[in-house]
Amino acid sequence: MISSQYLLVVAVCFVTLGWATSAVPIMANSTGISWHPANHTQSTCDPSTFDEPANTDPADWRECASLYSSWTSENGTFRLGDLNATGFTPILQTRDCTLGVKPADPCLGPFTIGDRDIKTLLETSLKEYSEGTDLRVAGNVKCATAIGSKGDVNWRISKSKGDRRLSWPYWDYTTTQQGSK
């Protein structure tokens, strides 16, 4: 019951923030990613490719399933701006599961990824790419860009770096004081 109350408080905070600041990005962080809540599910990407890279530390399938479960009721888009192509930037993360993104060509950005696109990546990965309790999967998806076309965004699900609580979007909590679950 406590977790249900907590989720309700978080939902009310998101609704309140959306109403109060609708003219500006709702939540931005130091990673260059911002989250924009919406009333309905959003999709901005084409179907993704999926691969099982051997050189990626596997995530814990159970943590990824928990992340997916907590994410299914969210509607909106992520805006990926000011990201470079040198490494993956976490969007969603639990203690032992991270969904990270890296634009193939950052010059095409910013990119927009919808909640439905994220849900599809997580659901397909969980259903089709688990190795027992391990999950390591990566791919490429073409998503909307600011210039009106679509550009390649590389993504991967892997083991989290460091000890993290369940959080989404992946905010630098110490500098922005934005939501962690």
Instruction: Name the residue with higher pLDDT: 174 or 28.
Output: 28
Helix, strand and coil content of the chain, in percent to the nearest 5, comes to 30, 30, 40
**Euclidean distance between CA atoms 1 and 43, whole angstroms:** 32
Q: What is the pLDDT of residues 87-114, one digit of tens each?
A: 888 999 998 999 999 998 888 889 999 9
Q: What is the pLDDT of residues 3-59, one digit of tens each?
A: 443 333 333 333 333 333 344 334 445 567 889 999 999 999 999 999 999 898 999
Q: What is the pLDDT of residues 65-90, one digit of tens each?
A: 999 999 889 999 999 987 766 788 89
State CA 103 to chain mean position distance. Answer: 14
Proportion of the chain above pLDDT 90, given as a percent? 51
**Domain-wise residue ranges, the chain:** 28-171
CB atoms within 10 A of CB 104: 12
Query: Which residue is associated with the tokens 């599910």?
Result: 41
Per-residue DSSP letters for 4-72? Answer: HHHHHHHHHHHHHHHHHTTTS-SEE-TTSEEEEE-SS----BPPPP-B--TTSPPEEHHHHHHHHHHHT
pLDDT of residue 24: 39
